[in-house]
């Protein structure tokens, strides 16, 4: 990296600094963090999932632990509370961490435990999205889009700022994970990401 302002060596002003470890904010930092965490988990007999590189699974003596990592946010669950406590203690001895207790909110999804399992809700995400798109005071529709509706490529004027349209459709695609009722209409709208128009 370049020498920081105020710390430039006057004898060698064109020299650069060689880092001994990743710095927060560098583009390489997330990869370095993931690699270090992965090596540590593998040393604890976790196995990397073939379905998702961010999921690690531990199976031993009849107990199973699941370790999911998203950048520096981690979810840990399993069949043995003793094994979970041991894992958290082992992680705390190696890394600086903050245990937030039982999961209740993760990546825009509210997690509510019930007698039959977990209820996933994106209520706050929806409200924030409505405010962000200027639609907080609009009336709801019973059906997001009729199955017979025809959306055409050249039906109206191009949007002046297609980036907003793309961001909104991307947000709706994420929302469709917990609201499959909007998946059809969202996928229809996603077909016009390249050249969105006012009718879309």
Does the pLDDT of residue 82 top 70, yes or no?
yes
Highest mean pLDDT among 23-27, 45-49, 186-190: 45-49
**Taking residues 161-185, what's their average pLDDT?**
88
CB 123 within 8 A of CB 110: yes
Q: What is the mean pLDDT of residues 33-52?
A: 94
Q: Model confidence over 55-65: pLDDT tens digits? A: 999 999 889 99
Q: How far is CA 155 from CA 116, 145, 162, 197, in A?
A: 47, 17, 16, 7
Taking all residues of the chain, what is their mean pLDDT, rounded to a whole number? 86
Mean pLDDT over residues 170-183, rounded? 90
| pLDDT in the model for residue 50 | 94
Q: Which tokens in the block code for residue 66?
A: 């699941």
CA distances to 15, 86, 135, 168, 181 from 174, in Å: 45, 34, 18, 10, 13
Using alpha carbons only, give the angle 89, 95, 100 rounded to the nearest 5 degrees.
65
The mean pLDDT of 151-166, rounded to a whole number, is: 77
What is the model's pLDDT at position 91? 94
pLDDT score recorded for residue 35: 92
pLDDT of residue 152: 67
Segment holding 23, helix H or strand E: none
Which range has the worst mean pLDDT, 20-24, 159-163, 171-175? 20-24
| End-to-end CA separation in angstroms for the chain | 46
Q: Which pLDDT value is given to residue 199?
A: 65
Mean pLDDT of 141-158: 73
pLDDT for res 198: 65
Q: Domain residue spans in the chain? A: 29-101, 122-190
Residue 40 above 60 pLDDT?
yes
Identify whether the C-beta of residue 77 lies closer than 8 Å to the C-beta of residue 65: yes
Q: In this predicted structure, what is the pLDDT of residue 195?
A: 74
The whole-number pLDDT of residue 144 equals 72
């Amino acid at each position: 990296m370049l020498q920081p302002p105020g710390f430039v060596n006057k004898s060698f002003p064109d020299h650069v600094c060689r880092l001994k470890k990743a710095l927060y904010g560098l583009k390489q930092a997330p990869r370095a963090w993931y690699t270090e965490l992965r090596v540590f988990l593998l040393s604890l007999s976790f196995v990397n999932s073939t379905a998702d590189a961010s999921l690690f699974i531990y199976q031993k003596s009849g107990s199973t632990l699941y370790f999911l990592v998203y950048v520096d946010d981690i979810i840990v669950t399993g069949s043995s509370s003793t094994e979970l406590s041991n894992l958290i203690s082992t992680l705390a001895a190696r890394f600086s961490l903050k245990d937030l207790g039982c999961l209740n909110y993760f990546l825009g999804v509210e997690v509510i435990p019930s007698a039959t399992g977990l209820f996933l809700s994106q209520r706050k995400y929806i409200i924030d999205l409505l405010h962000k798109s200027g639609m907080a005071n609009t009336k709801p529709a019973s059906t997001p889009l009729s199955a017979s509706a025809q959306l055409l490529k050249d039906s109206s004027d191009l949007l002046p700022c297609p980036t907003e349209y793309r961001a909104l459709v991307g947000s709706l695609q994420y929302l469709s994970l917990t609201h499959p009722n909007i998946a059809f209409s969202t996928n229809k709208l996603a077909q016009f990401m390249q050249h969105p128009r006012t009718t879309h």
